[in-house]
Amino acid sequence: MDALAEHAIDAAVAAGAGYADARAVRRRAQHVATKNGDVDSVSDSETEGIGVRVLVDGAWGFAGDPRLTGEGARDAALRAVSFARASASRARRRVDLASVAVASGEFAPAVARDPIEVPLEEKIALCLRADQGMRRPEVKITEATVRAMREERVFRSSEGARLRQRFVECGGGIDALAVSDDGRVQNRSYPSAHGGSSGQAGWEHVEGLGLEGEAERVGEEAAALLEADPCPAGVTTIVVDAEQMLLQVHESVGHPTELDRVYGTEAAYAGTSFLRPEDLGSLRYGSEHMNVTADPTTPLGLGTFGWDDEGSPARRQPVVEEGILTGYLASRETSRLIGRELAGSMRADGWSRMPLVRMSNLHLEPGAGTLEDLLADVDRGLYLCTNKSWSIDDKRLNFQFGTQVAWEIRKGKLGRMLRDPTYTGVTPEFWGRLDGVAGAEEWRLHGLTNCGKGQPGQHAHVSHGTAPARFRDVQVGVRQ
């Protein structure tokens, strides 16, 4: 793959590219799903190809080709150049890139047991045991999934970068759906909703999730929700569990701090941001308890890399410090626009997509104390757990989240279970009401694989480290 990437760069430059980079990628992925005690699907997929990105007269072009051959590499390069040239004649401004040290090296995560090499029989057996553990009469649907992925990625640029990276991911999750005789439906999931949680690690990560051990609780809680009272509407104190906090961070901090959104590049689809370039260093994003960090060096993180997809080295970067916006997620192009040296966070979904500014690992830094400590200072409120639904506006201001379950908090203690909880807010006002984050002992890393962005659409795999957090005066119980 190294030689092919080099060949593509040579072809692009010879055809007139002022800058070119090439990513040759080979990806293998497995997915096992069981449902109600039977295997729902067992799949084993692979894809490979080369993506070539060029600048011609200051305009971008990109082409992807599935052939990892000299002909495929050359065709991708020439097609990228032709599209860039066609676009350049109509460009209004020239793209310039911030400089980056020309890098050479290799990256691979520490893996004890390659998850792709774990026999499918073992994966199926684990799912079936977890599936079985959730079953009870009220639970009509039980599902368990595990996934594994391994990717080899070679990067070359016309500036001389020579990078070889290996990524290994695996994860899993369980879901129980309870249905009452009169048609009410409730669900519980573990360790996260919407496909479980993944990490960049060996199979030992999946074994450590404890899917079987949590199955009975998940099934019981799904059944109990059928009889729970609905979450009342009102303004109250909420404590949000670490799993829901990952989505809160993702949607209301991660996406708005993507600098391409700030500059409008995503306006037509994912949206823009309420932030402006000049807000950096001065905008109050939240209370003094709010500290958010982008860190592509986090062990086990799905966004952990040696270099991003335009060759910028992994670097930890604060995004919000004591409530003040101090960083953006950036590319070489947007770093140049804002005139600041920001850590690179460009990532592409496989070989056939152009890199975009994406989250890598974005964490809410831990505060102090335990979940019990957070609860202890709540006279009346709600403890909200596990995402169920989400929506946020195009500037990332107005959001509404639903969680699978809530527990009433009365005088510092958890009380009755409540169903169908929702809460809503406006991003900086909501984060301004943050008055406590639990400490490092409650901090958990979650990995999600369904972050969508771009046209054509791209999925990103990102991780978030979060701990339970407490917010005062939040509107809850929003429902039609």
Partner 1 sequence: MTQALDLAGRALRATEGDEADASVHVESSGLARFADSAVHQPTLIRDASVTLRVVRDGRVGSATTNRTGDEGLEAAARRAAAAAESSPVDPGFPGLQPPAPVPEVEGYDEATAGQTPEELAESAAAAIAAAGDVGLYGYYTSAVTELAVASSTGHAVSQAMTDASVLALAASDDASGYAEATSWRAGDLDPGAVAREAAEKAARTRDAAALEPGTYRAVLEPYAISELLFYFGFTSLNALAFLEGRSYLSGRLGERLFDESFTLSDDGLDSRGYPKAFDLEGAPKQRVALVEQGVARDVVWDRRTARQAGDGRESTGHGLGPPAQGFGPIPFNLSLAGGDARSVAELAERVGDGIHVTRLHYLGVVDPREGIITGMTRDGTFRIEGGRVTEPLVNLRFTTSFPALAAGLLGLTEEVTLVNRSDFYDERYPYGTLVPAVATDAFTIVGTGSGPGL
59 binds partner 1 (CB under 8 A): yes
Q: What gap in Å lies between CA 297 and CA 314, rounded to an integer?
A: 6
Among 183, 278, 282, 339, binds partner 1 (CB under 8 A): 183
Bridge partners (DSSP) listed for residue 325 = 320
203 binds partner 1 (CB under 8 A): no
Q: What gap in Å lies between CA 267 and CA 284, rounded to an integer?
A: 24
Q: Which is nearer to partner 1, 354 or 467 (CB)?
A: 354
Among 159, 321, 394, 473, binds partner 1 (CB under 8 A): 394
Residue window 98-137: x/- pattern of binding to partner 1, with contact defined by CB under 8 A: ---------------------xxx--x---x---------
What φ, ψ does residue 394 adopt, rounded to 5°? -70, -20
Residue window 335-374: x/- pattern of binding to partner 1, with contact defined by CB under 8 A: -----------------xxx--------------------
Bridge partners (DSSP) listed for residue 35 = 38, 143
Q: Which is nearer to partner 1, 97 or 368 (CB)?
A: 97
Among 10, 16, 18, 35, binds partner 1 (CB under 8 A): 35
Locus of tokens 């890199």: 355
Among 152, 207, 393, 473, binds partner 1 (CB under 8 A): 393
Q: How many degrees, rounded to 5, is the angle at CA 261 between CA 260 and CA 265? A: 65
Minimum Å gap between C-beta 391 and partner 1 is 4
Q: Which is nearer to partner 1, 145 or 326 (CB)?
A: 145
Cα of first residue to Cα of last residue in the chain, in angstroms, is 54
**82 SS3 class:** helix
**In this structure, are residues 192 and 387 in contact, taking their beta carbons and an 8 Å threshold?**
yes
Q: Which is nearer to partner 1, 73 or 300 (CB)?
A: 73
Among 454, 461, 463, 476, binds partner 1 (CB under 8 A): 454
Q: Which is nearer to partner 1, 40 or 220 (CB)?
A: 40
What are the CA-CA distances from residue 473 to residues 97, 251, 372 (Å)? Answer: 44, 20, 20
Q: Which is nearer to partner 1, 80 or 325 (CB)?
A: 80
Q: How many degrees, rounded to 5, is the angle at CA 266 between CA 265 and CA 268? A: 110
Q: How many degrees, rounded to 5, is the angle at CA 444 between CA 109 and CA 281? A: 90
172 binds partner 1 (CB under 8 A): no
Q: Which is nearer to partner 1, 263 or 471 (CB)?
A: 263
179 binds partner 1 (CB under 8 A): yes
Whose CA is closest to 233, among 479, 412, 430? 479
Minimum Å gap between C-beta 289 and partner 1 is 25
Instruction: Please give the biggest Cα pair distance in the chain.
Output: 72
In total, the chain counts a number of residues equal to 480
Q: Which is nearer to partner 1, 194 or 340 (CB)?
A: 194
Minimum Å gap between C-beta 275 and partner 1 is 12
**In this structure, are residues 334 and 257 in contact, taking their beta carbons and an 8 Å threshold?**
no
Among 2, 14, 114, 269, binds partner 1 (CB under 8 A): 269
61 binds partner 1 (CB under 8 A): yes
Q: Which is nearer to partner 1, 236 or 317 (CB)?
A: 236
Minimum Å gap between C-beta 443 and partner 1 is 27
Q: Which is nearer to partner 1, 31 or 166 (CB)?
A: 31
- Contact positions with partner 1 (CB under 8 A) in 80-99: 80, 82-84, 86-87, 89-93, 95
**In this structure, are residues 476 and 233 in contact, taking their beta carbons and an 8 Å threshold?**
yes
456 binds partner 1 (CB under 8 A): yes
Rg, the chain, Cα only = 23
| Token output for 157 | 């640029």
Q: Which residues contact residue 81 at a Cβ distance below 8 angstroms, ignoring those fewer than 6 apart?
A: 12, 15, 16, 17, 54, 56, 61
Sign of the four-CA dihedral 287, 293, 299, 303: positive
Among 402, 428, 432, 436, binds partner 1 (CB under 8 A): 402
282 binds partner 1 (CB under 8 A): no
Residue 391 neighbours by CB distance under 10 Å = 11
184 binds partner 1 (CB under 8 A): yes
Q: Which is nearer to partner 1, 31 or 136 (CB)?
A: 31
Which window, 55-63, 158-166, 234-242, 461-469, contacts partner 1 (CB under 8 A)?
55-63
**In this structure, are residues 287 and 252 in contact, taking their beta carbons and an 8 Å threshold?**
no
What φ, ψ does residue 174 adopt, rounded to 5°? -130, 150
